[in-house]
């Protein structure tokens, strides 16, 4: 199937909330990690979301170029070709974009999508994230309102964040403090500023103790009931059950029980990056250790081309990451729920 149209993406999100599951949103940094994600979704019979961060977009453009727009466009165009060979729907998304990178990342990509739509084409990406967590809430929502208008014109979904995700990702650092937990007041302010879909569709990354990075289960103190409180506060004012399509960031180390509880409160998208990075790299490390003499020209020897051919270890890396994507689909209950 092709990359999701705006209509298909909207149906994907609606089905997730209505049927109590969420889509893994897999960060990719290369054609290999993209292929691994596609394979994992297909094997799980799950539609899904593939996303690129600011750092990932720079890397995709080439380490000597470091242009986020170039890398993003290259990924989107490549994905359109290869995703067509898989029997699942895939939405393309850009991950965390702070204020100082909007002009070099999200805004130019929205302009590209606006031009594409004017030409009768689908937007380049299906959604973009504005990360205003480092801004005061008023400024965060003011920028979100401006971006939402542009996104709606480009037939793109916006993702906004209220509260702070702890830890660090691509240079965006969230302090570990009370801002890790969004409040009903934050949610009410968001609904007032952005509406509830009538001004443009958006996803909301509300925080409930989330932390980016690698943690053992139990280290991160999640409070999924924060999401329930947010939904209920806004529902009470506007009369709409579970008014927000919620996003779960920083989920490494979360228990399956916490993940499923968050889904029950309206989470339709969960970002997966740290775990799939490890799942991709671990088989490479195994290959290099086991094939040491073949990979390296030890003591003047010639090595073994079959061992150091990038395809040899690349295939195992992709298989490892695909397996972790399948597991994520099972955890989030999207497995077997692809659109027919």
Considering the candidates 47, 95, 122, 275, report the single residue annotated as catalytic: 95
Structural domains in the chain, CATH included, are: 6-332 (3.20.20.70)
Query: What pLDDT is recorded for position 179?
Result: 63
β-pairing, 172-174 with 23-27? unpaired
Report if pTM > 0.85.
yes
Under 8 Å between Cβ of 171 and 135: no
Query: What pLDDT is recorded for position 213?
Result: 56
Cα 148 from Cα 141, distance rounded (Å): 10
Which residues does the annotation place in the binding site? 96, 131, 161, 212-213, 249-252, 271-274
Which residues does the annotation place in the binding site for Zn(2+)? 96, 131, 161, 212, 249
3-state secondary structure of 133: coil
Closest CA to 194 of 227, 164, 238: 238
Does residue 275 have an active-site annotation? Answer: no
Cα 248 from Cα 25, distance rounded (Å): 10
Q: List the beta bridge partners of residue 168.
A: 173
Cα 105 from Cα 112, distance rounded (Å): 11
Under 8 Å between Cβ of 326 and 275: no
Query: What pLDDT is recorded for position 165?
Result: 61
Query: What pLDDT is recorded for position 219?
Result: 52
Query: What pLDDT is recorded for position 301?
Result: 87
Under 8 Å between Cβ of 54 and 105: yes
Query: What pLDDT is recorded for position 310?
Result: 96
Q: Averaged in consecutive runs of 10 residues, what is the pLDDT profile of the chain (340 residues)?
A: 93 98 98 98 98 98 97 98 97 97 98 98 98 93 98 98 63 52 94 98 91 55 91 97 94 86 97 96 97 90 93 97 98 96
Query: What pLDDT is recorded for position 77?
Result: 98
Residue whose entry in the numeric block shows the structure tokens 């401006």: 146
Phi-psi region of 205 (alpha: psi -120 to 50; beta: other; left: phi over 0): beta
Cα 207 from Cα 6, distance rounded (Å): 26
């Amino acid at each position: 199937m092709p990359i999701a149209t705006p209509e298909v993406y909207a149906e994907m999100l609606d089905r997730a909330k209505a049927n109590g599951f969420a889509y893994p949103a897999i960060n990719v940094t290369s054609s290999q990690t993209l292929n691994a994600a596609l394979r994992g979704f297909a094997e799980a019979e799950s539609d899904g979301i593939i996303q690129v961060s600011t750092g990932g977009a720079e890397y995709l453009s080439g380490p000597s170029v470091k242009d986020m727009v170039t890398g993003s466009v290259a990924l989107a165009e490549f994905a359109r070709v290869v995703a067509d060979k898989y029997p699942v729907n895939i939405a393309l998304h850009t991950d965390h974009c702070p204020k100082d990178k909007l002009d070099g990342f999200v805004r130019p990509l929205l302009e590209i999508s606006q031009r594409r739509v004017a030409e009768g084409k689908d937007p380049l990406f299906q959604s973009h994230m504005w990360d205003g967590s480092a801004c005061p809430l008023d400024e965060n929502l003011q920028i979100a309102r401006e971006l939402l208008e542009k996104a709606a014109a480009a037939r793109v979904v916006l993702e906004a964040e209220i509260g702070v995700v702890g830890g660090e990702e691509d240079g965006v650092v969230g302090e570990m403090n009370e801002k890790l937990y969004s409040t009903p007041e934050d949610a009410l302010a968001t609904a007032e500023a952005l509406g509830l879909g009538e001004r443009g569709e958006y996803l909301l990354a509300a925080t409930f103790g989330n932390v980016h990075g690698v943690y053992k289960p139990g280290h991160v103190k999640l409070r999924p009931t924060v999401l329930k409180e947010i939904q209920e506060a806004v529902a009470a004012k506007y009369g709409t059950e579970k008014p927000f399509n919620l996003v779960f960031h920083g989920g490494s180390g979360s228990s399956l029980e916490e993940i499923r509880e968050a889904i029950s409160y309206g989470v339709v998208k969960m970002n997966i990056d740290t775990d799939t990075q490890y799942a991709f790299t671990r088989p490479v490390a195994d290959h290099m250790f086991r094939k040491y003499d073949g990979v390296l020209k030890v003591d003047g020897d010639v090595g073994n081309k079959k061992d150091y051919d990038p395809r040899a270890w690349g295939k195992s890396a992709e298989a490892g990451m695909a397996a972790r994507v399948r597991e994520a689909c099972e955890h989030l209950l999207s497995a077997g729920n692809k659109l027919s």
